[in-house]
Chain A
């Protein structure tokens, strides 16, 4: 009984599987050559709960970063705690500098923005835990100390970077996460089978991540122009270095291996742009105007979309095609859940 409904659902499922097949060369190759049962089993097993759990891991990371920045404690130690251990699991730990303390904010607006974002990322954790109910995963081990030092090294910003040092460093730390969250939810939207109940929530969270990213990027642009107190141009140059690093991690070019730092990356497959300026034509025939790049988007002014493998590559510092589980940088022991 192939009704229109079942046809549509089949189409969604087949499209979803197609999308999953594009997730990683290794998985695709494994399917094509009919080997590695693991890859097959994994692809067949992915459902909406797996996708939401993937998102939950990212929200744990963001919620910990912002709440630590503002309150100096992990989310499970807040006055109204947010659980990190659910469904009988044991939540991981958060690695911090031995001398960690909350950000000593000097700018009231930046502190206000951080506080708002901390609350919203915490709500995302709670919402996903409740929506997933008995399927929700606990928080994996998270690293907010060595991770930023590693990232600073690969992005060419020096050997250490403390995002909790002051307002400016906090904004750069936030910059690392927000655009990635946007591209991750964008990529996940097309994978979600339940367009009635799950998809509306996912696109709603997607928009909020983009609000956060727009807020952070606008604030960095303003602070940088005013002198942060780092010299004018420093913060925006950091954003450009981080965007190049993210793009190179998500789109490694086999003929042009990733070098450290990413100064040589020109990026035919670049999918990230830092805060800078760019010439635009508007309604003229040539590019005679100068535009900011507050929005992280492609030439069609559409936000980037990244596959789960690309997102894993960025947050763990591995190649998108690396074997699961991806481990390293922000998730030293990988993410919890099926997509890892």
Chain B
């Protein structure tokens, strides 16, 4: 940790020295543009390699696939049906759902209101990202084929034997565990992707969505913990933690040295590292999780995405 911090500080310092030179040039240029006088000093800064090589629209389409999955899940949970044809876009894949699916039979209206809010937020994210890609001269991908019955095998992989088969649409508590499967993954995905974005307006949009996903994640984690305390029954907190362990193991298997998970408890609502900084996942780590855990290079589909993600980021490279 000490070494990591020192490295960070060293890099920051050398970077800053470099930026100080470039900054003066840019400042000079701006002032010339504004009100005359001093010619801009010409400096030739030493280039520092920066990994800005993934096109923003590829990252946005990657995020769009995840938002389709979340929106579809929450819309089925709240209304018993999924995205409209207009929102899924032309060429959308089909969504496999548990037999006889209907809206979750909420234990009270508060839970319905919480779920309605998240469903609307995720739908808004779908629309906002589609618009952002178009505004950035790109083409938003349609909804890929989705499989919302994958919760059952995922639960088995996590060691959850009761209820079996696991179906997040059958009760409020099962829904909370289902939501738990997605929300922290969304946060880590945006935390990992945001620094890769080169356009500052798109970075700001990604940060805005990241915040909303973290609000959601905290909400779901708080509701699970508070519900367990109220009923003196840790069953569903334990189920969530089995999911968390599985996600951590998948991340480790795909090359993350950290488990990238914080077990849920009354004193650990926030999922973060030892510096209280949220975990970041690479696109590969996210793919391994949503594809159901197969490790290695070249995993192209599986899990919640039976035909893979749409777009240029869809096959694991590590």
A residues at B contact (CB < 8 Å):
1, 3, 5-6, 8-17, 19, 31-32, 34, 40, 44, 47-49, 108-109, 112-113, 115-116, 119-121, 123-124, 126-127, 130-131, 133, 182, 185-186, 189-190, 193-201, 203-208, 210-215, 217-219, 221-222, 225, 277, 280-284, 289-305
Is B96 in contact with chain A by the CB < 8 A criterion? no
B198 pairs with A8, CB closer than 8 A: yes
Residue from A200, A204, A297 within 8 A of B272 (CB atoms): A204
Q: Which residues of B contact A113 (CB under 8 A)?
A: 222, 266, 269
Q: Which stretch of B4-12, B140-148, B164-172 is in the interface?
A: B4-12
Q: How far is the CA of A120 from the CA of B11 in the complex (A)?
A: 25
The minimal Cβ–Cβ distance linking A287 to chain B, given in whole angstroms, is 9
Q: Which residues of A contact B117 (CB under 8 A)?
A: 280, 291-295
B187 pairs with A301, CB closer than 8 A: no
Q: How far is the CA of A185 from the CA of B191 in the complex (A)?
A: 13
The minimal Cβ–Cβ distance linking A120 to chain B, given in whole angstroms, is 4
Q: Which stretch of B28-36, B250-258, B285-293, B308-316 is in the interface?
A: B28-36
Closest to B30 in A: A17
B222 pairs with A295, CB closer than 8 A: no
A47 pairs with B214, CB closer than 8 A: no
A196 pairs with B51, CB closer than 8 A: yes
The minimal Cβ–Cβ distance linking A179 to chain B, given in whole angstroms, is 9
Question: Scoring B residues 23 to 47 as 1 if CB is less than 8 Å from chain A, else 0, what string do you get?
Answer: 1011101110011100000001101
Question: Scoring B residues 111 to 124 as 1 if CB is less than 8 Å from chain A, else 0, what string do you get?
Answer: 01110110111111
Question: Scoring B residues 189 to 203 as 1 if CB is less than 8 Å from chain A, else 0, what string do you get?
Answer: 011001100101101
Residue from A204, A219, A303 within 8 A of B277 (CB atoms): A204
The 22 listed contacts between A and B (C-beta, < 8 Å) are A1-B44, A9-B19, A9-B50, A10-B25, A116-B268, A127-B276, A189-B207, A194-B15, A197-B8, A198-B12, A203-B207, A208-B214, A208-B270, A210-B214, A211-B271, A212-B218, A217-B215, A277-B113, A280-B120, A290-B116, A293-B117, A302-B208
Q: Which residues of B contact A190 (CB under 8 A)?
A: 200-201, 203-204, 207
Question: Scoring B residues 214 to 227 as 1 if CB is less than 8 Å from chain A, else 0, what string do you get?
Answer: 11111101110110
Within 8 A of A (CB), among B36-70: 36, 44-45, 47-52
Q: Which residues of B contact A3 (CB under 8 A)?
A: 47
Q: How far is the CA of A237 from the CA of B83 in the complex (A)?
A: 34
Q: How far is the CA of A40 from the CA of B35 in the complex (A)?
A: 11
Contacts A13-B26, A14-B26, A34-B35; is A214 near B266 (CB within 8 Å)?
no
Contacts A113-B269, A207-B187, A208-B272; is A303 near B26 (CB within 8 Å)?
no
Is chain B's binding surface mostly helix, strand, loop or mixed?
helix
The minimal Cβ–Cβ distance linking B127 to chain A, given in whole angstroms, is 8
The minimal Cβ–Cβ distance linking A167 to chain B, given in whole angstroms, is 13
B residues at A contact (CB < 8 Å):
5, 8-9, 11-12, 15-16, 19-20, 22-23, 25-27, 29-31, 34-36, 44-45, 47-52, 75, 78-79, 81-84, 87, 109-110, 112-114, 116-117, 119-125, 127-128, 187, 190-191, 194-195, 198, 200-201, 203-205, 207-219, 221-223, 225-226, 229, 266-280
Q: Which residues of B contact A302 (CB under 8 A)?
A: 128, 205, 208-209, 211-212
Q: Which residues of A contact B226 (CB under 8 A)?
A: 109, 218-219, 222
Q: Which residues of B contact A126 (CB under 8 A)?
A: 275
Contacts A13-B26, A130-B5, A301-B212; is A196 near B195 (CB within 8 Å)?
yes
The minimal Cβ–Cβ distance linking A165 to chain B, given in whole angstroms, is 22
The minimal Cβ–Cβ distance linking B203 to chain A, given in whole angstroms, is 6
Residue from A12, A47, A206, A283 within 8 A of B16 (CB atoms): A47
Q: Which residues of B contact A185 (CB under 8 A)?
A: 207
Q: How far is the CA of A331 from the CA of B8 in the complex (A)?
A: 30
Q: How far is the CA of A222 from the CA of B119 in the complex (A)?
A: 20
Residue from B75, B198, B219 within 8 A of A214 (CB atoms): B219
Q: How far is the CA of A181 from the CA of B277 in the complex (A)?
A: 14
Q: Which residues of B contact A195 (CB under 8 A)?
A: 50, 52, 195
The minimal Cβ–Cβ distance linking A275 to chain B, given in whole angstroms, is 11
Most interface-central of B23, B79, B123, B205 (chain A CB within 10 A): B23
Most interface-central of B210, B211, B266, B278 (chain A CB within 10 A): B211
Q: How far is the CA of A322 from the CA of B210 in the complex (A)?
A: 31
Residue from B29, B83, B272 within 8 A of A283 (CB atoms): B83
